[in-house]
Amino acid sequence: MRDFDKLHNIASLAKSELMANGADKALVKAACSVKNELNVECGVFTLMRTVEDDSLSLSAIADGRKGKIAINNFDEKAISAAAADTMAVAQASEPDSAWVFAENPGEEKVFCEGVFVSDNEKMFERTKELLDLITKEHPLLTVNMVTSHNFTRSVMLGSDGLLYKNEVGYYDFDINFVGKEGEDTSSFCGTNFSVANLDTPFIEMSNVRQSLIECEEQIHTKALPESFCGTMLLTPECLTEFAYYLIENYCSDQSVMENSSPWLTKLGEKLADEKLQLSLCPRSDFAVGAAKYDAEGYLAENFDVIKDGVFENFCISDYVARKKGMKRAGNKSFNFYIKPGETALSDIISGIEKGVLVGRFSGGAPSSNGDFSGVAKNSFLIENGKKTKALREVMINGNLSKIFANIANISKETYNDGSVSVPWASFDGITISGK
């Protein structure tokens, strides 16, 4: 695998080719990666493989025109051709002064994180350990797993001397399963996480244990015979999905460029419940392998989207920020941090008279005004303070801005999958419909 010096030489060659072809500014990233992957299909080990990959991204600006090309070949002729193609793309583009690369911060930046060499034996042991446990304790489930170690080394080089070096290694685990007993089958279930090491058994990571239990509980589901206005309790995975919708609808590049965001002129206003703090935090302990900088070379910084209910920042790129005369977001990741509350999850449930626990939402993106309607998957009825029967084909309807402005409760427990740190949250006044 290529070391930093070799990657630097490749990036330097690509940068030189871009400048020789007429670029005013150039930004190049050369990277090599190794993935060791272990697969389980239907409870049986089926594959162990190692995949190596090279990638080279070339970006250039000439006379206000931007071009970008990516290749997976480090051959000198291929690099020369890619540089010419990048400039051809730029020349065919419309000039736009909003295209800018990050400036050289003045010193070389080096980032090193995680474990760089895969422990394949330990990876197999942890995967088998979980598979054996599921076979013994959850015999009604059919399981697929992918366990992998990912290592990437990269160099980003700018024409003004910008130089970033990055090495990151971590383990990914993805599991999906379905339960079956007789003629009854559960809905699709699963979870995933990323970790820096394999010190902890997989059953104790993220929400693996609870997901297995709930999948078995969902084999035999009941229809909801009525419609009512009640409480929606979102699992952290589902709350993360709704937080993503909130950002896409109200704070994103598209909603700002198209002037479709209802929040476009409301920066600094209280638009959400004061219990809500929603932040994007790639530079946090919970974020494993998160990006340290973006494609334009801007270093990632944590920032608040909403703090104490107040709308603090849009989640927009440097390009959109310049087009609109606004502030660029500190990062473009989706490493969500939602501040936990002070109430135990069990107490939140015991305080719900009637509602649903929603593990997954299936309904497509909300409309531009925030209205959403879809099926509550992996859901359970909550009655008189207790989680009762597993439900099927339950519809939920509401509005994003309204539910986040009226949060009933946020749990003190959080879910951490190596990408996000998010609690459970409940919302009143949701229309819940059975079939």
Q: Please write the tens of the pLDDT for every residue from 234-249.
A: 999 999 999 999 999 9
Does position 435 have pLDDT exceeding 90, yes or no? Answer: no
Burial class (CB in 10 A: 0-12, 13-18, 19+), 358: buried
The enclosing H or E element of 373 equals strand 371-377
Torsion of CA 284, 289, 295, 301, to 10 degrees: 10
Crossing angle for the helix pair 4-20 and 76-91, to the nearest 10 degrees: 40
Percent of the chain with pLDDT over 70: 100
- pLDDT (mean) for 121-133: 98
pLDDT digits (tens, 9 = 90+) for 44-63: 999 999 999 999 999 999 99
- pLDDT (mean) for 343-355: 98
Does position 365 have pLDDT exceeding 90, yes or no? Answer: no
Question: What is the residue-averaged pLDDT of the chain?
Answer: 97
Assign 14 a pLDDT band (cuts: 50, 70, 90): very high
Task: Sketch the domain layout of the chain as residue ranges.
Answer: 4-217, 221-435
Contacts of 431 (CB under 8 A, 6+ apart): 227, 229, 395, 396, 397, 398
- pLDDT (mean) for 73-82: 98
pLDDT digits (tens, 9 = 90+) for 389-430: 999 989 999 999 999 999 999 999 999 999 999 999 999 999
pLDDT of residue 1: 82
pLDDT of residue 45: 98
Does position 92 have pLDDT exceeding 80, yes or no? Answer: yes
pLDDT digits (tens, 9 = 90+) for 37-48: 999 999 999 999
Asked if the 4-217 domain carries CATH number 1.10.10.10, the reply is: no
Tokens 């244990």, residue located: 209
Does position 170 have pLDDT exceeding 80, yes or no? Answer: yes
Assign 364 a pLDDT band (cuts: 50, 70, 90): confident
Tokens 């080089």, residue located: 157
d(CA 323, CA 40): 48
- pLDDT (mean) for 82-111: 98
Percent of the chain with pLDDT over 90: 97
CA distances from 181 to 142, 217, 221 (A): 11, 11, 12
Does position 297 have pLDDT exceeding 90, yes or no? Answer: yes
Provide the β-strand partners of residue 6.
none
Does position 358 have pLDDT exceeding 80, yes or no? Answer: yes
pTM: 0.95
Q: Which tokens in the block code for residue 418? A: 């190596």
Assign 434 a pLDDT band (cuts: 50, 70, 90): confident
- pLDDT (mean) for 186-193: 94
pLDDT of residue 31: 99
Contacts of 292 (CB under 8 A, 6+ apart): 109, 111, 164, 166, 282, 283, 299, 300
pLDDT of residue 46: 98
HSE (side-chain half, CA atoms, 13 Å) at 241: 17
- pLDDT (mean) for 123-135: 98
Residue 426: phi and psi, rounded to 5, are -115, 150
